[in-house]
């Protein structure tokens, strides 16, 4: 893994899954089906890791209103994190990945399996 690639996922690797981001998230308190900022940040950690070969199925499962598109981008998770992880950054990156996957499917005839 290159230094540049590692730096892209460092903050998400630093997540200790303490749950403080989830406790501060207004979406978690209003939608019991919302995946939550910690899990979504960890998903971006794995999706962004060049050593992983997950394909896009997990991302497709989270490309819903209960997943990455359910986040209201309030950023309380960022303010609350004791390890300076920015879950909202991971969620927006996952949104970009999901939209890219969808466009590839619509305009390319098949979904990207990377």
Q: Is residue 76 part of a domain?
A: yes
For 35, residues 6+ apart whose C-beta sits below 8 A from its C-beta are 62, 66, 67, 68, 70
Q: Is residue 59 part of a domain?
A: yes
Structure tokens at 18: 């303490």
Q: Is residue 112 part of a domain?
A: no
Domain containing residue 92: CATH number: 1.10.1060.10
Report whether 12 contacts 42 (CB < 8 A). Answer: yes
Q: How do the pLDDT tens digits run along the chain, 114 residues long?
A: 788 888 888 989 999 999 999 999 999 999 999 999 999 999 999 998 888 877 788 899 999 999 999 999 999 999 999 999 999 999 999 999 999 988 887 787 654 454
- The radius of gyration of the chain from alpha carbons, rounded to an integer in Å, stands at 14
Q: Is residue 114 part of a domain?
A: no
Give the pLDDT score at 107: 81
Which range of residues forms the domain containing residue 102? 3-107
Q: Is residue 103 part of a domain?
A: yes
Give the pLDDT score at 89: 96
Give the pLDDT score at 110: 54
Q: Is residue 40 part of a domain?
A: yes
For 26, residues 6+ apart whose C-beta sits below 8 A from its C-beta are 72, 74, 76
Give the pLDDT score at 65: 96
CA distance 57 to 62: 9
């Amino acid at each position: 893994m290159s230094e540049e690639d590692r730096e892209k996922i460092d903050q998400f690797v630093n997540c200790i899954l303490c749950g403080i981001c989830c406790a501060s998230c207004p979406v978690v308190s209003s939608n019991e089906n919302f995946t939550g900022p910690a899990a979504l940040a960890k998903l971006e950690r794995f999706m962004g890791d060049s050593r992983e070969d997950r394909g896009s199925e997990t991302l497709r499962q989270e490309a819903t209103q209960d997943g990455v598109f359910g986040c209201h981008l309030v950023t309380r998770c960022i303010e609350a994190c004791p390890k300076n992880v920015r879950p909202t950054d991971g969620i927006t990156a996952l949104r970009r990945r999901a939209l890219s996957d969808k466009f590839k499917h619509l305009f390319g005839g098949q979904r990207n399996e990377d």
